Amino acid sequence: MADLTDDEARKLAGALNRFEPKDVHAALDGIDDHPLRGPDRGHERTGSRPVGGSSGDGGVLIYRGEDGRFRLRITVTDITGAFYDELALSGPSLRGLGAALLATLEERHAPRDP
């Protein structure tokens, strides 16, 4: 399967950011059994921690790390603060995970107002 391009990764981040970060995070928690997950399920959790100081807005950030793998970071903010979870994935894994997340979100959650 062809690797994911940086442009495809930006489009995926934009599509995921149509939804509330807390909903994207909830969809990530229940994604393992989704049929759109795809055959390449390899990922590594690279971070999960509270965000200190001025946390800004929550949302999804996708970028390519120095090792060539993509990083999917979901930052969730609420009244008590903010936290993020981050995964490192290959392009094909991110493509499959992104499709599964979007399918789950479109089934269960309404997009944010533009």
Whole-number mean pLDDT of the chain?
Answer: 81
pLDDT of residue 66: 92
What is the number of structural domains in the chain?
1
Q: Is 16 among the domain residues?
A: yes
Please indicate, yes or no, whether the overall pTM of this predicted structure exceeds 0.75: yes
pLDDT value at position 59? 93
The predicted pLDDT at position 47 comes to 56
Task: Take residue 109 and report the two structure tokens written for it.
Answer: 């959650």
Q: Report the pLDDT value the prediction gives residue 36, as an integer from 0 to 100.
A: 42
Within a domain: 29:
yes
In the predicted model, residues of the chain with pLDDT beneath 50 are 35-39
**Is 114 a domain residue?**
no
Closest CA to 63 of 4, 1, 2, 18: 4
Domain extent, residue 20, equals 6-108
Looking at residue 113, the DSSP 8-state letter turns out to be: P
Any domain includes 1:
no
In degrees and rounded to multiples of 5, residue 77 shows phi and psi of: -115, 150
Structure confidence at residue 56 (pLDDT): 61
Residue 113, domain member (yes or no)? no
Between CA 29 and CA 31 the distance in angstroms is 6
